[in-house]
Amino acid sequence: MSEDHTHVQEFFGARAAAWDRKFPEDGPAFATAVAEFGLRPGDRVLDAGCGTGRALTALRAAVGPSGLVLGADLTPQMLAAAQRAGRAAEGALLLTDVARLPLRDGVLDAVFAAGLIAHLPDPGANLRELARVVRPGGRLALFHPIGRAALAARHGRELTPQDLRAEHNLGPLLSGSGWDMTSYADEDARFLVLAVRQP
């Protein structure tokens, strides 16, 4: 977990230009996750911690021309990479902290968050902020293109029972933050948790 926005910006800023080249095979996993998310034409969706915007094309396809797609990220270099890749055409890009979104209460139908939760300084409060901007009954997707074990191996560490993304930890965290978990998938090729905004 990162508790320092400066560290997050430095880490991702230094890697932004090469990010898409480093993970070239992730595109289909993003598209599949968005398809499973169940967005409808006209929905208003936020890609929270959008990075280089790899989900934006799939999100735009799901909500159609009448929908709204926003991408929010804390790191200017990531948003610049999204613009260079032409993904700003799929949705509006916001340089902002997802822990303090410049959005009204209940204005969105859904939030898609890829690889975000490990970088939240206060996961409970930050998930509550995502719940604040989503209407009751709206949806949340927490996604990563590889599962927890594969990600831990990539970073040279072991999985522990304290892992925030473990089902026994994440379920209570979500329910205490305004969300009800509806599905949990942790497989080699993906991590996808879906939740619904509580009334």
Cα-based distances in Å from 112 to 10, 57, 150: 23, 13, 21
Q: What is the mean pLDDT of residues 96-113?
A: 97
Q: Are 133 and 152 in contact (CB under 8 A)?
A: no
Question: Cα 41 to the chain's mean position, in Å?
Answer: 20
Q: What is the mean pLDDT of residues 111-138?
A: 95
Task: Count CB neighbours of 30 within 10 A.
Answer: 21
pLDDT tens for residues 35-92? 999 999 999 999 999 999 999 999 999 999 999 999 999 999 999 999 999 999 999 9
Q: Are 129 and 100 in contact (CB under 8 A)?
A: yes
pLDDT tens for residues 163-188? 999 999 999 999 999 999 999 999 98
Q: Are 55 and 85 in contact (CB under 8 A)?
A: no
According to DSSP, the residues that pair with 48 across neighbouring strands are 72
Give the span between the Cα atoms of 101 and 153, in whole angstroms.
Answer: 33
* Dihedral angle over CA of 153, 156, 157, 163, nearest 10: -60
pLDDT reported for residue 4: 61
